[in-house]
Amino acid sequence: MQIKQKNISTGAVFLFFIFGLLFFVLAGRFLFIEVTGEAGGTALARKLETKYLRQDILEARRGSIVDRNGEAIAEDTVSYKLTAILDRSVTSSIKHPKHVVDPRKTAEKLSKYIDMDEEEIYKRLSKKGVFQVEFGSAGKDITHQTKKEIDSLKLPGIMFQRESKRFYPNGVFSSHVIGFTESKYNEKTKKDEAVGRMGLEKTMDKYLKEKDGVMEYDSDKWGFLLPNSKEKITAPQDGSTVSVTLDKKIQTFLEDSMNTVQEKYNPKKMIAVVANPKTGEILAMSQRPSFHPKTREGLENGWQNLAVEDSFEPGSTMKVFTLAAAVQEDVFNPNEQYKSGVYKVNKSGQIKDHNGGEGWGTISYLEGLQRSSNVAFAKLAMDKLGEDRFRNYLTKFGFDKPTGIDLPNEATGKILYKWPIEKVTTAFGQGTAITPIQQIQAASAIANNGKMMKPYVIKEITDPDTKKVIKQTKPTVVSQPISAETAKKVRDYLGTVVTAEHGTGQRYKINGYDVAGKTGTAQMPGPDGKYLVGNQNYVFSFLGMAPKNDPELVMYVAVQQPEVEYYADGGIPVSMIFNTVMRNSLQYLNIEPSKIETKKAEAIEDYTDKDLQSSAEALKSKGYQVTTLGKGTQIIDQNPKPGTKLLEGERIIFRTEGQLTAPNMNGWSLRDVMKLAKIGSIPLQTVGNGYAVKQNIKAGNKLSDKDYLIVQLETPEEDIEKTEPEPEENKGS
């Protein structure tokens, strides 16, 4: 018994000792943690802080690309991504669910707002064991308006994530210059980021690139901000604003005219550049094929910016610079005679004028320019200037090196000047290959009184917040290959190409403005090295400037292989682009017309009691416009009255018996509207100035002396502003 009790006492002591030891170990451990704040080498306070520390990304915006007047060409806009929360654990109150409660009803409602079938939406919303689902491309790029409409449905579990997307408000708009961006997933930031892939979006990426900010704060286990917790914010940095020299209106004129030509003549390629020759600023640049920077539609047809990255034989536009060299060296006598037709290069080689070598007999060098005679320019380059002096001018005009324009991948022209035949053909634009932008730079010397200006498209780069200019491009004089006096003479000679009886540039006349320029028709080399034959296998072009005496704009247009029936019609699509863009641009820039055509004045006879039809036909044959009020066949009154002297083309209004009805007065001058009101005794009220654009009594409706005729007028400038094409992104909205 004593032995048993002794064993129990010993066991109890042992257990007491063991539990006592454990107590002191645990107490010591707790004391160590309390004093050091560490466990297992880890700072517990920091671990707790990390567990409940939340980070929210503060999104920055990629920098915008804007035109010379601050109009957006490429910018970031807000869009939303649709998601649905399926996990029930996020709901803390049954009355206010945070997850999708009714997948069928939710799918039915969402199918009306996103491009996804109701059953597919239901299938996604019915998935088990997932926290949330997304809706692919159908759930991306949700507009603010659509988000607002979906929010109004108050569907539980439907959430939106705010995103940014690149927006190109003008659609196809100098696309190869501006370029585009693509989304690329960043492993570091765990998000998609826009990366420039072409054009200025690529070369200016370091300036346009944004840097997101971060907001850090303490939260509870559900991620909500704790009371009195302090936030640490690193502000986002938006990308810089890149201002380009392009002018939105001039570029729009260019894009629209190229679309018209594309539809009518379907050429293989088109290139056009508009520049300010006084500064070198590129005001417009486009091409076909082109592409839409958002959808990339059309991009597969060509990545190159043809105006900068492609060199080809210029054809007769090259004669502008051969002429300038000859005038500068005082070897061009416009009245000197030469024999056209054929020019012998050596014993076995010769070049011919473009009419098969027939020529036009013995003519002056000025007529040779007007007719675009190859023989005239072969003689000027080889016989008058000499091959060495002529070659020196090719360098002076910058044809043997890139211009240095601030666009990527600029090509270098290739001057073939080894063999005698190459030297001769270079004088009129065959054999040697140069880029359109080289021609624009060289032409600036002609337009800018001898000073050749470096072309550029980057106007300035500014900080979007402070508006501080980070980088700015200033006009740069590359060289002065000719004198101001020579430049003026060359413009005058080139002016006759447009105005002379035999001038090849007659279709480039623009009413009110003197144009100086040179046509070009370059043969196209085939795969075998020989030139292609056929009416369409040419590059038709025009290099022109206006107003001739002091050019504000210089423009180059080239159209390759348009679908025309006759060779002579190849210049028609070129003129459709040049004339439209040059005329509208000069008017838009408020360039005063250089001349106003004077109309002949004559007295109008008395047509009272005469037959309406014969009288109207006689006046129309003289160029007058005739409007009739009434249903009769005999004239009872007229305005203007007999004996009044009128300008050719003025409107005459005849009144006959019968009910008066309103004509369509769209485009009428105020004077013509007043004539109608007076002859019909109609009370008139006009609004605005200029030409009629709207009338309250519709054409064909009755006119009465008891009803007011109200006509709204607008100036041509207002009309241009009003009818400017709507950006493609906004059409139909």
CB-based contact 665:692 (threshold 8 Å):
yes
Q: Which of 290, 316, 372, 541 is catalytic?
A: 316
DSSP, res 383 = I
Q: Which of 105, 110, 102, 107 is nearest to 122 (CA)?
A: 107
Q: Which of 556, 520, 550 is nearest to 442 (CA)?
A: 556
Q: Residue 120 contacts by C-beta under 8 Å, 6 or more apart in sequence?
A: none
Q: For residue 537, how far is the Cα from the chain centroid?
A: 28
CB-based contact 235:213 (threshold 8 Å):
yes
Match 């399926």 to its residue by tokens. 86
CB-based contact 406:473 (threshold 8 Å):
yes
Q: Which of 297, 301, 291, 282 is nearest to 255 (CA)?
A: 291
DSSP, res 102 = -
- Dist CA 28 CA 51 (whole Å): 26
Q: Residue 45 contacts by C-beta under 8 Å, 6 or more apart in sequence?
A: 37
Query: For residue 564, which amino acid is it?
Result: V
CB-based contact 434:311 (threshold 8 Å):
yes
- Dist CA 410 CA 403 (whole Å): 8
Q: Which of 353, 283, 244, 299 is nearest to 555 (CA)?
A: 283
Angle, CA 462 vertex, CA 457 and CA 463 arms, to 5°: 150
Q: Which of 589, 602, 586 is nearest to 652 (CA)?
A: 602
316 included as an active-site residue: yes
As a whole number of Å, the end-to-end CA separation of the chain is 105
Burial bucket for residue 409 (CB in 10 Å: 0-12, 13-18, 19+): exposed
- Dist CA 497 CA 325 (whole Å): 18
Active site residues: 316
